[in-house]
Amino acid sequence: HKEAQFQFKTMKLQPDRMEVQAVTGYGPGWLAINGEKYTTSLMIHWGGMRQALAAAGPEALSAPDFAAMADWPVELVLYGSGARQVFPPAAWLAPLMLKRVGFEAMDTEAACRTYNILAAEGRKVGALLLLAPA
């Protein structure tokens, strides 16, 4: 009786080179977009838009921060809420829902990874990324 032999292959989650804007680094108090380092929270989207946010944490956000993203050419918004997952008030998401834009909340590190995967797949994705304190 012969034993079955299995071969396992590794899979890369990110290509060596992306044709869209990508999060290329993240750490406490900073993140990098296409190699450019930022020390402020950001809103970004797959097509290259970047907008700095004054908000240092989820408690500093407001409904207009989420409403602004409803006007972007995106099909999904990822919300990276810092070091831990924090959901915004449901009423703040109404402009996104009215335009049928999907929404996912997660910690910022997970949002960065998810954004890169979706953008590399050609998805029209945006992200609101809050920095965890340094």
Residues 6+ apart with CB under 8 A from 133: 28, 29, 56, 57, 82, 83
Q: Under a CB-based contact definition with an 8 Å cutoff, are residues 42 and 50 in contact?
A: yes
pTM of the complete model = 0.84
Per-residue pLDDT of the chain (134 residues; tens, 9 = 90+): 555 554 444 333 344 556 789 999 998 899 999 999 999 999 999 999 999 998 878 888 999 999 999 999 999 999 999 999 999 999 999 999 999 999 999 999 999 999 999 999 999 999 999 997 76
